[in-house]
Amino acid sequence: MQENGEQTSKKAGAFLAVVTLQMVIAWLVFVGSAFLFFWMATVVFVEQEKDLDQAAFALAREITTPETTQAMYFVTFFGSKNFLIFGSLGLAFVFLIFKKWRFYSLKIITIAATTTLFNQSMKLFFGRPRPETAFLEQNGNSFPSGHAMIGGAFWGLLVYLVWTNVRQVWLKWLISILIGILIFLIGFSRVYLNVHYASDVLAGWAAGIFWLIMAIYLLNKLQQRLGRKVEKQVEG
């Protein structure tokens, strides 16, 4: 009995340590994202520095080939409006089928809609024109990048779902790394195709991650509150 109690205590301690570590990391990422966004906004609109953007365009020019351009057209699609709309709705529908995952549907739709609204509001507020050297015609303003922000939030939400539902640690890391690479390539494709500055992409990633963490926290609180209300109604 004593050994079982000690094992239970150790497991509980290990669980609390992991949860605490995850909370610390989430807070660091949350604060870091806010700092990165305001830094990019200061660099672009206050200091009006262009070194970062010019260096990124120069790097893109060095690796420009017809094959790379076609690959970038393909990659950028996974952060496009059409993909994110149908991807979000499709994923929400899948989760809606399973009773224990139905609240994920609300999370997906809510995060997708609010991130889009947030991004478009900031584009109007900052009003930065797109680069004149764009490979393809794009509407709207440039800062922050919608592909980086909305796409980053969508794919980042998938990472969150993987970490909260997949048990195998190696599989969590594998999927998360692959999604992280895709998020990076989507952002890079926008710079490569000259439809965004590098500062737009960095600001988009920062704003997307910031909003994703905040939205997940608020939605989890809502889920807990609704769960308590249901329990009270059942007990009553």
Residue 7: pLDDT band (50, 70, 90) is low
What are the Cα distances from residue 163, in Å, to 75, 151, 168?
A: 24, 18, 9
Q: Name the residue with tokens 């640690």.
A: 169
Fold of 2-235: Vanadium-containing Chloroperoxidase; domain 1 (1.20.144)
18: Cβ contacts below 8 Å, ≥ 6 apart: none
CB of 153 closer than 8 Å to CB of 208: yes
Q: Are 149 and 115 in contact (CB under 8 A)?
A: yes
Condensed to tens digits (0 to 9), the pLDDT of residues 116-143 reads: 999 999 999 999 999 988 777 777 889 9
In sign, the C-alpha dihedral spanning 171, 159, 202, 221 is: negative
Query: Tokens at residue 92, please?
Result: 């929400």
From residue 41, alpha-carbon distances to 20, 144, 145 in Å are: 32, 9, 12
pTM, two decimals, is 0.85
Question: Which of 139, 142, 153 minimizes the C-alpha distance to 219?
Answer: 153
Helix residue ranges per DSSP H, the chain: 2-41, 51-62, 66-76, 81-97, 102-126, 146-165, 169-192, 198-235
Pair of tokens at residue 179: 């999604």
Delimit the domains of the chain by residue range.
2-235
Backbone angles phi and psi of 98, in degrees to 5:
-95, 125
Q: List pLDDT tens digits, range 49-101.
A: 899 999 999 999 999 999 999 999 999 999 998 899 999 999 899 888 877 78
* Whether 112 contacts 164, CB under 8 Å: no
Structure confidence by residue, pLDDT tens digits, 181-217: 999 999 999 999 999 999 999 999 999 999 999 999 8
Rounded to 10°, the helix 146-165/81-97 angle is 20
How far is the C-alpha of 103 from the C-alpha of 107, rounded, in Å? 7
